[in-house]
Structure 1
């Protein structure tokens, strides 16, 4: 039997692993975990936090989290509800304020806005990462270099973990590794300075990104997830997600809420 440390990528100070199991494997052993969900949770977080607002990530289909978010005065996006008809489990219609998960819809937020967002990938992983006790950052292509620099500074000589969220196969809901999140993880891995010993997974992600960096918007548009969003009528979200290093925002999770790191 392989020792547990194999799956934790023990001995390397820059690590990359997929999904919720990746959070569980890396979180207890890394000073920083960067969650990457390019289409679209962490792109949305970057745009929201860039306006001075905040995001409360919630586990998917968790009625207790919805109730706690409402008590905190958070505005629930439609994706933050546990019922597709938009009704709160208590029978009360949730307050949405007209906002959605779509990054292209989130302009004009005021700094006092707190959005509660539940997704099966990025938001769920963010909440799980916080439970491991590590520092949690939200990374995307838009803020790859800024988040990489912050992660390296916070971690010092301790390991940094990058977790591409991936998507879900339907109807089984099993993990589907996604091109967009691998590119996002690779962009961050490529920008992290001073890592003495990246794991094989981190090294390959960084090299993959460097090899196609000039084609990122095209690759996102042609990816399964990109074509899915375009078919849903929101190609602008794919365009926003593919804008690399246009943001200096570093969303950091503190007391369960993403806000701009100092």
Structure 2
């Protein structure tokens, strides 16, 4: 299904090998974008591209570590040479390290920020500076509702997502004069491998939906986990022409878990 403002455009999607990133990449490809799929997991991103091409869509794989500034610059250069000018960027690559603050290691903290915050900075900077002379572009960062609500055992993740969220809003402010829109989609609990890794047993989904007062965590008012497609639909809207007057916005897709805060 075509969505105005997506067909024929080059869309760079990070974290495209699995979960939300994979679903976002597929959603954009299905709507006519030329997808440059980026992930440090080379095999996974190549599998995605093979699947998309088999379905008649246009996609290419670019294995890269978004936490490596030099690698990001080289990757964006390669995409612009081999695929075309990047007109859509979706930052999805993410890392989750959990645990009490006193037990978090320096490496846990640094690795989390390297991907979730610095990675967003490196890729967005590389793409935005190329978009600016063309005076067109849309950037979406997939953050988290944890960026706005404190979470037990998730301090590094929440802090890194808060940094990425505010960075993206600042990016939107600075680049508005170049007609580049920058927005955030903040999922709540979503049925992905990352989410399932947090569950203690097969009842994990129901426990998340119900909430946990001991951890000061509300449940999900809509009574269901998000699917990756729910997040992808929000991304598709924000990068499309339907959202042409929206920038610096944080769209929560969490079933009401943060009560609209």
TM over 0.5: no
TM-score (norm. length: structure 2): 0.33
TM-score (norm. length: structure 1): 0.33
Structure with the bigger percentage of helix: 2
Structure with more relative contact order (C-alpha pairs < 8 Å, separation 6 or more): 1
